[in-house]
Amino acid sequence: MKKVMLFLAMLSLGTLCWAGSAREDATERLENATTVVHEIMGMPDKGIPEEVLEHAKCIAVVPHMIKGGLIFGGKGGKGVATCRTANGWSAPAFITISGGNWGLQIGVEAVDLVMIIQNEKGMQKLLSSNFQIGADASAAAGPVGRHAEAGTDWKMDTEILTYSRAKGAFAGLTLEGASIRQDNDSRHAMYKSNVTTRAILLGKVPAPSAAEPFLAEIRGAKAQAAAAEKAERKAEANQKDQK
């Protein structure tokens, strides 16, 4: 009997340690995602256009995604996603991205990835438990700058627009063949065990306090883009006046 009680105590302790570690990992991911959104939006002339943000159904951020390979390429990372609801942006859901592609490539690169899901079809894919980019949802590099050119087709049928910030020597980024899945471990660590990713992204679950800075950054991204554009136009007007 004592052995059984000892075993149960050790099992309980192990479970608590795992839950604490998983929650710390999820919280750190939210913090990193917050930094990525803030820094990408603050890049002069290279941020996500205001129109794209206004059009977005969902936004997913994968900080420090690792991509690399020798002949065979691979990619993998963990991120967070939020969707637009009638009351603002939903609590963040946790996702993973993994997959590979064929090509002549050598190198390893850490990439901060932002995915803009821009229509209902793309949102429904994100609400599912697993989908593959290319086979189930299309993706393309999104327009950059303070304004998306009116003549571009970024509003067409593409479900996902991608933005990346590279931190290594590996050139290029393709998400073709990558799989997006729910991160069940992180979700269970941050929310109740019976909470689903679908319920989170549909705005049916309150956001935890750890997610507030990330959601504030998402809410402020459009305003940040508009303010940067205003400052840019003012600088251009000053330059013309000086001439």
As beta bridge partners, residue 131 has: 180
41 located within any domain: yes
Residues of the chain with pLDDT under 70: 1-20, 44-46, 67-75, 100-109, 146-156, 167-174, 224-243
45 located within any domain: yes
- 236 contact partners, CB below 8 Å, separation of at least 6: none
Q: What is the tally of structural domains in the chain?
A: 1
206 located within any domain: yes
240 located within any domain: no
64 located within any domain: yes
Quote the domain boundaries for residue 151.
2-234
124 CB burial (10 A radius; 0-12, 13-18, 19+)? middle
75 located within any domain: yes
172 located within any domain: yes
74 located within any domain: yes
Q: Cα–Cα–Cα angle for 169, 175, 176, nearest 5°?
A: 125
Name the token pair of 122. Answer: 């793309």
- 113-148, pLDDT tens digit by residue? 899 999 999 999 999 888 888 888 888 888 877 665
- pTM for the full predicted model: 0.79
